[in-house]
Each structure stands twice: as C-alpha cells, then as structure tokens.
C-alpha cells in the first residue's frame, strides 16, 4: 500500500472519537507532553516545546502519505478537547499486520478513552486496511497500558527482554496480539 487514506469523518463510539491531526492541536500537544508519565514510556523529548509538536505533526502527515502509519488524535466527540494520540504503525502489508501505539494526556486517563481508542483504531484497521493481526507492546512496568491491551481484547504473548531504549533506560516489553475476527 503506497498511501493510507484516513476517513473523512471521525471514528467514534459515542464516548471517544478518533480524528486526523490538525495544526490547531499544537498547543494541546505541548501541554500534554509536559506530563512526565508520557516521557517515561515514550520517546517524547524533555523539555517539550512548540517545535517538537510541529515536528510530531509533520511526521504524522508524512507517515500517512508514505503508508507507514495511520495516526489519529483522540478526542471527545463533537470536536471535544485533545485527549491523546493513537496510531497504527509499522505496517507489514505483505503479512497484513501492524502495531498500535498510544498515549493519553492526564485529563484523558481513568475514563476508558485509551481502551476505546485502541478498539476503534483496531476495528478500523481490520476493516479499512484489511489487517489480520495487530500487535501492541507495553513496558513491563507500565501496568495501565497492559490493562488497556487486555480490556481491548489483546492476548498476552510474551516478554521481549531489553527491547526498547528510552533515553538511558532499556525496557522489557510485554507483547500482545489481536487477530481479526
């Protein structure tokens, strides 16, 4: 697949919505990425500023055209506030698989938005992109992300030792998988 085409309308379940990123999201991205928990589990630079947010959005726009990612902003329906990010990443089209990654701003946590966003993007990936398998990696120390994976229907498949480097630290990652149907 040369290019991913995101849907024109938000993907929603009535509580959580996924929509394409907008340049107007920059201030909200900067605010969210001040949270140390996001930087703890993702490669978000610290300090995080407006130029980082612009680069983040440019990378997302480029990845859509390259067919290497399907990124969405997580929001409340009806043009609600930015709650986080979710994307299908690293597709292997010949194997009909991809990975899902996400982060939530503090104000989006504890209300089921991560689980809903993961379910929404996976359902869309299976139907619109003809994926057969979606993988999710969560650091062994990131129990909330592991719970999101389990609530979204993923099956724990194993632990990948010293898999991700984040700054000076290496993280073991729990590998989860979800199959179409």
The answer on pLDDT for 45 being more than 90 is no
Q: Where are the domains of the chain?
A: 11-179
Give residue-wise pLDDT tens across range 139-164. Answer: 999 999 999 999 999 999 999 999 88
The answer on pLDDT for 38 being more than 90 is no
**CA-to-CA distance for 41 and 141, rounded, in angstroms?**
9
The DSSP bridge pattern shows strands 17-19 and 97-104 to be unpaired
The DSSP bridge pattern shows strands 17-19 and 69-75 to be antiparallel
Task: Pick the closest to residue 69 from 81, 53, 58 (CA basis).
Answer: 58
Encoded tokens for 12: 């929603």
The answer on pLDDT for 2 being more than 70 is no
The answer, yes or no, to whether the previous bond of 175 is cis (omega within 30 of 0) is no
Give residue-wise pLDDT tens across range 91-142. Answer: 999 999 999 999 999 999 999 999 999 999 999 999 999 999 999 999 999 9
**Which CATH topology does 11-179 take?**
Aminopeptidase (3.40.630)
Which residue's structure tokens are 């990443």? 89
Q: Please report, rounded to a whole number, the percentage of residues in the chain having pLDDT higher than 90.
A: 74
Contact between 111 and 127 under an 8 Å Cβ cutoff? The reply is: no
């Amino acid at each position: 697949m040369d290019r991913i085409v995101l849907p024109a309308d938000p993907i929603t379940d009535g509580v959580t919505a996924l929509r394409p990123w907008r340049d107007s999201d920059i201030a909200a991205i900067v605010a969210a990425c001040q949270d140390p928990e996001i930087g703890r589990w993702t490669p978000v630079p610290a300090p995080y500023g407006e130029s980082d947010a612009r680069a983040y959005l440019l990378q997302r726009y480029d990845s859509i055209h390259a067919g290497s990612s399907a990124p969405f902003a997580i929001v409340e329906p009806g043009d609600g506030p930015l709650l986080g990010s979710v994307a299908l990443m690293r597709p292997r089209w010949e194997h009909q698989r991809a990975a899902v990654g996400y982060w939530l701003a503090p104000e989006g946590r504890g209300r089921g938005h991560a689980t809903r966003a993961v379910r929404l993007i996976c359902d869309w990936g299976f139907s619109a992109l003809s994926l057969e398998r979606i993988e999710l990696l969560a650091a062994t120390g990131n129990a909330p992300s592991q719970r999101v994976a389990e609530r979204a229907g993923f099956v724990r498949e194993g632990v990948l030792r010293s898999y991700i480097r984040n700054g000076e630290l290496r993280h073991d990652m729990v590998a989860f998988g979800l199959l179409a149907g």
